[in-house]
Amino acid sequence: MESVREKLQIFVRRFGLLNAECCGEQVSMVQSHILFEIRRTGNPSMQRVAEELGMDITTFSRQIKTLETKGLVTRQASRDDRRVSLLGLTGEGVQVLEKIDLYMSGRIERIFSGMTLFERETVVRSLGLLNEAVVKADCCAGQQDKTLHIASNSNKELS
């Protein structure tokens, strides 16, 4: 019997979440997530998006720099606190995100096309439950992350 981890790993691979480029656009999957979060939260701070995506700020900052160079994202200092950078989408960024939305909608529709309405609703409901469970479990993730970090460092020392 397949484990939950195995099912998730296979899903990620089959859905294409490991692809270097997203939907034929010259943006990576990570950059696609960044664009999506900027739109979803409406001119958020860099820190907020980095936290939402679980990225360290240094890595996130490099991704933002790349998106700025591509002309997809703007960055400006907050009026309330000049140390805080607020993010926005350019017109071209909105267009790229709309293309990604169309691609993803079509992909999801193709995947769901072989399911009954009940099965679709069950999958959507289950994804909602899974997302809620992940959020609730994150309150305890700090200790697990430390354990994983210690274990990986121990393995490096053994090499």
The pLDDT tens digits for 20-37 are 566 666 788 889 999 999
pLDDT at 118: 98
Note the pTM of the prediction, 2 decimals: 0.74
| Mean pLDDT for all residues in the chain | 83
33 near 67, Cβ under 8 Å?
no
Confidence of residue 119 (pLDDT cuts 50, 70, 90): very high
Fold that domain 4-114 belongs to in CATH: Arc Repressor Mutant, subunit A (1.10.10)
pLDDT (0 to 100) of residue 20: 53
- 77: left (phi > 0), else alpha (psi -120 to 50), else beta? beta
